[in-house]
């Protein structure tokens, strides 16, 4: 399940609950059984818990044998709600929200680049230009004329909003695409107020803005992948955090001074919120382990996390394990070995190194009666080749993990 609390423009508070499940046809479905007015109550941890308890009771999901997992943002009231909920549900802190907090930390990062260029000041100026162009037809025409004079395709600068950091990225990006036209307006501003000259980024600030957005590109990609509503995304968390770390380290080596500085600052902010690429969260680890493309190879970069994921999966499967059937035989063909490393993500580079170095060591010879069905399935899964044949969106594999 996912839940969210918000206040509308009339200052009325609401709480929603969305239920997600996979049916017998392996189709992912979502329903919103509740969007409830809070009757004037504040969004305290206690008030949120009272309503969530009622929601679960009405849905018949308050029984002891049912484990409820609820994705929430990690605001302090939600954390208190989880802390006092007496094991009625398990919280999974939303990766996108945590990533947004990492970026917010980065936006406050006071970095000195050339002259004292601060990220927050660049963001303010980019937003001010968007407002300036949009609030006046005259300003819009002036920008259109400047675009014609400089050979730049005209578009309105995108306005950033407070709730989505992506909009700030888009706001800065729209200013960068209009760079020549905006500098033309700034350099030729003869008006008394000189709004263009004072409002447009300086060449040094434009260079810094380019560094900001290059550092943020892998973050935006991860956000877009994680926010999918029609397909599972848990298996993408560790992979994308690993890719983000690899991309930012590469920018620190290969980028210009602005890119290097901002990539370094952003990596610190992400690492602070996501310890060891998110592998401290067991559910993220399980997702990466069960992803047939990687089979947990990223987890092996962080001591103990591969075994922890395997142990937790066997534990969850054991409640359904009532027989000692032999596991099915699995096979997978090698993928094309001619991948160009420059075009691979950090996770795929690791996967390719694993593929070239050979399969995992054979499982130890454990007497059959000791192995549960779930353990047999996991052992067979581990001995499959990491590489699978993947054609477009059709993934050819045969796996039967009881879960």
The SS3 of residue 241 is helix
* pTM score of the predicted model: 0.79
CB-based burial, 208-217: b 16+ in 10 Å, e otherwise: bbbbbbbbbe
Residue-range domains of the chain with CATH: 2-93 (3.10.450), 104-216 (no CATH), 289-294+310-403 (no CATH)
CA distance 245 to 277: 8
Q: Which residue reads 């493309």 in tokens?
A: 293
Number of neighbouring beta carbons within 10 Å of residue 399? 15
Measured torsion, CA atoms of residues 27, 33, 35, 36, in degrees rounded to the nearest 10: -160
CA distance 67 to 308: 20
pLDDT one digit per residue (tens) for the chain, 403 residues = 999 998 888 889 999 999 998 899 988 889 999 999 998 888 999 999 999 999 999 999 998 888 899 999 989 999 999 999 988 999 999 999 999 999 988 887 655 555 567 788 888 999 999 999 999 999 999 999 999 999 999 999 999 987 778 888 999 999 999 999 999 999 999 888 899 999 999 998 898 898 888 889 999 999 999 988 878 899 999 999 999 999 999 988 876 777 888 888 899 999 999 999 999 999 999 999 999 999 999 999 999 999 999 999 999 888 787 665 444 443 333 444 444 566 678 888 787 777 666 555 444 554 444 678 888 888 888 887 554 433 333 333 333 433 3
């Amino acid at each position: 399940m996912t839940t969210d609390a918000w206040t509308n423009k009339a200052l009325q508070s609401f709480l929603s609950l969305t239920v997600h499940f996979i049916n017998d046809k392996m189709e992912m479905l979502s329903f919103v059984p509740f969007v409830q007015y809070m009757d004037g109550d504040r969004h305290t941890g206690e008030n949120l818990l009272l309503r969530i308890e009622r929601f679960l009771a009405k849905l018949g999901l308050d029984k002891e044998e049912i484990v409820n997992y609820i994705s929430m943002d990690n605001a302090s009231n939600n954390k208190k709600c989880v802390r006092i909920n007496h094991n009625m549900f398990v919280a999974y802190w939303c990766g996108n929200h945590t990533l947004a907090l990492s970026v917010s930390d980065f936006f406050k990062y006071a970095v000195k680049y050339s002259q004292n260029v601060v990220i927050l000041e660049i963001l303010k100026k980019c937003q001010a230009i968007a407002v300036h162009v949009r609030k006046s037809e005259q300003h819009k025409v002036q920008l259109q004329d400047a675009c014609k004079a400089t050979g730049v395709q005209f578009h309105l600068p995108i306005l950033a909003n407070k709730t989505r950091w992506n909009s700030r990225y888009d706001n800065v990006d729209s200013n960068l695409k209009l760079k020549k036209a905006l500098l033309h307006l700034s350099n030729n501003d003869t008006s008394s107020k000189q709004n263009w000259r004072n409002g447009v980024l300086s060449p040094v600030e434009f260079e810094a803005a380019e560094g900001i957005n290059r550092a943020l590109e892998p973050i935006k990609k991860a956000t877009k992948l994680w926010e999918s509503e029609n397909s599972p995304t848990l298996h993408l968390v560790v992979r994308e955090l690993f890719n983000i770390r690899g991309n930012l380290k590469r920018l620190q080596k290969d980028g210009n001074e602005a890119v290097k500085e901002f990539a370094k600052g952003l990596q610190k902010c992400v690492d602070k919120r996501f310890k060891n690429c998110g592998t401290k969260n067991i559910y993220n680890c399980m997702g990466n382990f069960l992803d047939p493309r990687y089979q947990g190879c990223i987890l092996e970069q962080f001591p103990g996390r591969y075994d922890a994921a395997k142990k937790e999966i066997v534990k969850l499967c054991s409640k359904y394990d009532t027989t000692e059937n032999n596991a099915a035989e699995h096979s997978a063909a090698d993928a094309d070995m001619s991948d160009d490393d420059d075009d691979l993500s950090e996770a795929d580079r690791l996967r390719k190194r694993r593929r070239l170095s050979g399969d995992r060591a054979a499982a130890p010879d454990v007497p059959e009666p000791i192995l549960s069905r779930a353990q047999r399935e996991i052992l067979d899964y581990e001995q499959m080749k990491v590489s699978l044949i993947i054609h477009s969106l059709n993934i050819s594999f045969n796996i039967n993990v009881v879960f």
